C-alpha cells in the first residue's frame, strides 16, 4: 500500500475535524433549531393533508411514518457538509496545490474531513430531531435489522453525496462560479431526496424515474428503511447506490486527472 494511503493519517484528520467542529457548536445548535422548526412545520402540513383527505395511510405509510421519514432525512440532509464550496475555494485561491504537495490523498483528505464533520454533528441532530418527531407523533418501532441496514445505507448515501459534491467543487477548474451547479444539485436533492415529501407520495411515473436517480438514495433511503425495513428494498437500495458510486467515482477519477493538468496557480 502506498504511503499516502496509510489509514492513521486519515484517522488523525477525522479526529481533528471532530474537535474543530466543536468550536462551531453554537452555530450548529442555532442551525439545528431551524431544522427542528422546519420539521414541526412539515408535520403540521402533513397532519392537515391526512385530515383533509380523511385517510389513515398514503401508499401504505401512516402519518407517523411520513413524519419520521422526513424528520430523519432532514436531520441528516440539512446538516451534512457541503464539500463543493470548500473545494471550489481551494481551486480558486490555489490552496489545492499546497494540499497536493503533502503526502496525503486529496480525495482522502476531504473524505476524512467530511466524515469527521458528520460524526461530530449528526448524532446531535438525529437525536434532537427524533425527540421533536417523537413529541409530535409518538414513538416508532425500529427493528434491529432496520437500524443496521439504515446505518449501512446512510454511510453509502453520505459517500455518494460526498463524491457528487467533490465533482461539483472540481468544476471550479473550468467555471469561475460553481454555485449554480451546487444550487441545481441541492434543489433536485430536496425535491427527490425526501427532504420535504417522501418519494412514496409522488405519482408513479415520477417516482419510477426518481428511484433510478441518486437523490432518494442519499439520505431518504436510510430513513425509509428505518421506518419500514424490507430485505428486497434494502438490496435494491444497495445496488442502486453501488451503481451510482461506480459512475460518480469514475467521473471523479477522470475529472481529477483533467483538473490536475489544468492546475494553474496565482502568483509568479
Partner 1 sequence: MNSESILVRNLRKTFKLKLRDPGVIGAMRSLIKPLHREVPAVDGVSFTVKQGEIVAFVGPNGAGKSTTIKILTGILHPSSGEVSVLGLNPQSARGTLAYKIGTVFGQKAQLWLHLPPQDSFDLFARIYAVEQVQYRARLAYLVDALKVGELLNIPVRKLSLGERMRCEIVASLLHSPRVIFLDEPTIGLDVIAKQQIREVIRRLNREEDVTIFLTSHDAGDIEALAHRTIVINHGTLVLDESTENFKKRYVQTKTVELVLDQPAKDFCFPEGEVLERGDFHLKIEFKNSAQTLERLFRYALEHFTVRDINIYEPSMEEIIATIYRERRNRAGHL
Site string for partner 1, 202-241 (x = CB under 8 A): ----------------------------------------
Find the angle CA(212)-CA(149)-CA(204) to the nearest 5 degrees.
30
Q: 30 or 103: whose CB is closer to partner 1?
A: 103
180 binds partner 1 (CB under 8 A): no
Minimum CB–partner distance for residue 90 and partner 1 (Å): 11
Q: What is the DSSP string of 174-218?
A: T-S--HHHHHHHHHHHHHHTTSSS-GGGS-HHHHHHHHHSSGGGT
Give the per-residue contact string, 7-46, with partner 1 (x = CB under 8 A; - = no): -xx-xxx--x--xx--xx----------------------
For 151, what's the count of Cα atoms within 13 Å in the CB-facing half-sphere? 8
C-alpha cell at 88: 471550489
* Residue 97 lies near partner 1 (rule: CB under 8 A): yes
Q: Which helix (H) or strand (E) holds 57?
A: strand 57-58
Tell me whether residue 3 or residue 56 sits nearer to partner 1 (CB atom): 3
Name the 3-class secondary structure at 62: strand
Please state the φ and ψ torsions of residue 88, each to the nearest 5 degrees.
Answer: -65, -35
Residues 37, 55, 102, 250: which binds partner 1 (CB under 8 A)?
Answer: 102
Residues that bind partner 1 (CB under 8 A): 2-4, 6, 8-9, 11-13, 16, 19-20, 23-24, 95, 97-98, 100-104, 261, 263-265, 267-268
Amino acid at each position: 500500500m502506498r504511503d499516502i494511503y496509510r489509514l492513521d493519517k486519515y484517522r488523525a484528520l477525522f479526529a481533528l475535524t471532530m474537535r474543530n467542529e466543536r468550536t462551531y457548536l453554537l452555530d450548529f445548535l442555532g442551525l439545528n433549531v431551524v431544522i427542528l422548526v422546519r420539521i414541526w412545520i412539515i408535520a403540521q402540513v402533513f397532519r392537515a393533508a391526512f385530515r383533509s383527505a380523511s385517510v389513515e395511510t398514503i401508499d401504505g405509510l401512516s402519518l407517523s411514518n411520513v413524519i419520521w421519514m422526513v424528520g430523519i432525512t432532514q436531520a441528516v440532509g440539512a446538516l451534512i457538509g457541503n464539500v463543493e464550496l470548500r473545494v471550489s475555494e481551494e481551486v480558486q485561491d490555489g490552496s489545492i496545490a499546497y494540499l497536493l504537495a503533502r503526502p496525503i490523498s486529496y480525495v482522502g483528505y476531504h473524505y476524512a474531513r467530511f466524515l469527521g464533520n458528520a460524526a461530530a454533528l449528526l448524532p446531535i441532530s438525529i437525536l434532537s430531531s427524533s425527540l421533536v418527531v417523537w413529541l409530535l407523533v409518538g414513538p416508532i418501532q425500529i427493528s434491529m435489522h432496520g437500524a443496521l441496514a439504515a446505518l449501512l445505507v446512510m454511510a453509502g448515501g453520505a459517500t455518494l453525496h460526498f463524491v457528487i459534491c467533490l465533482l461539483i467543487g472540481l468544476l471550479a477548474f473550468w467555471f469561475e462560479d460553481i454555485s449554480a451547479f451546487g444550487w441545481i444539485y441541492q434543489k433536485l436533492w430536496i425535491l427527490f431526496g425526501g427532504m420535504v415529501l417522501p418519494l412514496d407520495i409522488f405519482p408513479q411515473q415520477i417516482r419510477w424515474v426518481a428511484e433510478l436517480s441518486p437523490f432518494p438514495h442519499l439520505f431518504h433511503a436510510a430513513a425509509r428503511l428505518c421506518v419500514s425495513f424490507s430485505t428486497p428494498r434494502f438490496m435494491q437500495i444497495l445496488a442502486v447506490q453501488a451503481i451510482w458510486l461506480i459512475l460518480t467515482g469514475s467521473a471523479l477519477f477522470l475529472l481529477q486527472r483533467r483538473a490536475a493538468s489544468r492546475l494553474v496557480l496565482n502568483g509568479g
